[in-house]
Amino acid sequence: MATMKPVPDRTGRFGPFGGRYVPETLMPAVAELDQAYRRVRRDRAFHQEFRALLKDYVGRPTPLRRADRVSEQVGFDVYLKREDLNHTGAHKINNTVGQILLARRMGKQRIIAETGAGQHGVATATAAALFGLKAEIYMGEEDVKRQALNVYRMRLLGAEVHPVTSGTATLKDATNEAIRDWVTNVRTTFYVIGSVVGPHPYPMMVRDFQSVIGREARRQIVDVAGGLPTHIVAAVGGGSNSMGIFYPFRNDPVALVGIEAAGEGVPSGRHAATITVAEPGILHGSLSYLLQDDDGQILPAHSISAGLDYPGVGPEHAYLHQTGRAQYHAIRDDEALSAFHRLAEWEGIIPALESAHAVAWVIKSKEALRALGARVLINLSGRGDKDVEAVARYEEVTHVPAH
């Protein structure tokens, strides 16, 4: 396989995607962040501090193990990278620890973040607490209602949660509000973005911080399985867990498979399958694919998984799609739910609904994968405890049988 050209370029472009589409007020801040990040990227002391925290605070490396009963059921080897075993229960903390270390280096005392379901908000509040910094988290009012427990968690961790009532009162509106805060308090504030989205350098920086997943996994699977996987499968909302595991394998002969949320089905219009639709647009600082109408107004996304419920996607995913280096598929709510149950029963692991989308695609594609003699690595990005209540409620309402 040909080696991919390093992306992004100096201006933050992944092919045509990416860039820095922010108000002029923020341009110097974005440039300052870019410089600061480029400095720490070459700074051995920064990496030592980051690695030590990932090991002793986050609990890395996370295990990678063959899922024996899943493998038996589908008829080929399936391995799980256990990001659910990180402190706070998901991969999000890898990135927040990295960004907050950078914020300290830059002398920024005030931390802000957006959150959808609350996972990134909790991870930001956690990393901020670790360093005695104050975090303020923007969260759509709809999500505040649906995720009351995560709101309480953030408050326990000393963060202030600002409910956002504008627009659709969900993640995209929380992101708008966080950007408004950043524009207003740009001189003192560090904005911790939770995915591989936003203006340059965020997509690159978040990818780099999350790449620890793929670096570990590459080492581990060679040890455990004696070679590389044929397929790596991961869920894609904004795309940070998938980019984190894909990136270190980009020059390997490995199929990279991103799984989006088809919600109630792509034809229903109630979905979050941004790359499946593949319409270019500009939102929240970068050019990528977007859910939008003919006038370029942003459409609300839908998924049973709040973490995938976003109308955009990281620009590097758009690039991987456009170049054909990664393939993207979409999984419906009901398929993800079914996989949620399967993994719990077969492996004793309750996955996050996000990760259940990746598991669902592997189960759904088992004939084709078996015929290929596949060895599949799934990124299990988070644990499902946060989703248990919502799933129970959903199944009560829709009378979906548990099996």
Which of 166, 251, 268, 323 forms a contact with other proteins (CB under 8 A)?
Answer: 166
Minimal distance in Å, beta carbon 176 to other proteins? 4
Minimal distance in Å, beta carbon 322 to other proteins? 16
Which of 75, 158, 265, 281 forms a contact with other proteins (CB under 8 A)?
Answer: 281
Nearer to other proteins, 291 or 377 (CB): 291
Nearer to other proteins, 193 or 378 (CB): 193
Nearer to other proteins, 69 or 180 (CB): 180
Candidates 296, 300, 310; CA nearest to 270 is: 300
Residues with a catalytic annotation lie at: 92, 114, 381
SS3 labels along the chain:
CCCCCCCCCCCCEECCEEEEECCHHHHHHHHHHHHHHHHHHCCHHHHHHHHHHHHHHHCCCCCEEECHHHHHHHCCEEEEEEHHHCHHHECHHHHHHHHHHHHHHCCCCEEEEEECCCHHHHHHHHHHHHCCCEEEEEEEHHHHHHCHHHHHHHHHCCCEEEEECCCCCCHHHHHHHHHHHHHHCCCCEEEECCCCCCCCCHHHHHHHHHCHHHHHHHHHHHHHHCCCCCEEEEECCCCHHHHHHHHHHCCCCCEEEEEEEEECCHHHCCCCCHHHHCCEEEECEEEEEECECCCCCECCCCCCCHHHCCCECCHHHHHHHHHCCEEEEEEEHHHHHHHHHHHHHHHCCCECHHHHHHHHHHHHCHHHHHHCCCEEEEEECEECHHHHHHHHHHHHHHCCCCC
Per CB under 8 A, the segment of 14-22, 83-91, 248-256, 259-267 that binds other proteins is 14-22
Which of 2, 107, 132, 297 forms a contact with other proteins (CB under 8 A)?
Answer: 297
Which of 261, 287, 331, 380 forms a contact with other proteins (CB under 8 A)?
Answer: 287
56 forms part of the interface with other proteins (CB under 8 A)? no
Which of 222, 296, 323, 345 forms a contact with other proteins (CB under 8 A)?
Answer: 296
Minimal distance in Å, beta carbon 258 to other proteins? 23
283 forms part of the interface with other proteins (CB under 8 A)? yes
Per CB under 8 A, the segment of 141-149, 215-223, 224-232, 293-301 that binds other proteins is 293-301
Which of 10, 42, 44, 187 forms a contact with other proteins (CB under 8 A)?
Answer: 187
295 forms part of the interface with other proteins (CB under 8 A)? yes
- What's the token pair of residue 70? 């899943």
Per CB under 8 A, the segment of 98-106, 175-183, 269-277, 377-385 that binds other proteins is 175-183
Per CB under 8 A, the segment of 61-69, 93-101, 168-176, 379-387 that binds other proteins is 168-176
Nearer to other proteins, 20 or 271 (CB): 20
Whether the CB-CB separation of 138 and 105 falls below 8 Å is answered with: no
Minimal distance in Å, beta carbon 291 to other proteins? 11
Which of 167, 224, 277, 395 forms a contact with other proteins (CB under 8 A)?
Answer: 167
Half-sphere CA count of 159, side-chain side, radius 13 A: 32
Minimal distance in Å, beta carbon 189 to other proteins? 10
109 forms part of the interface with other proteins (CB under 8 A)? no
Give the residues lining the site for other proteins (CB under 8 A): 11, 19-29, 31, 166-167, 172-173, 176, 179-180, 183-187, 280-284, 287, 290, 292, 294-298
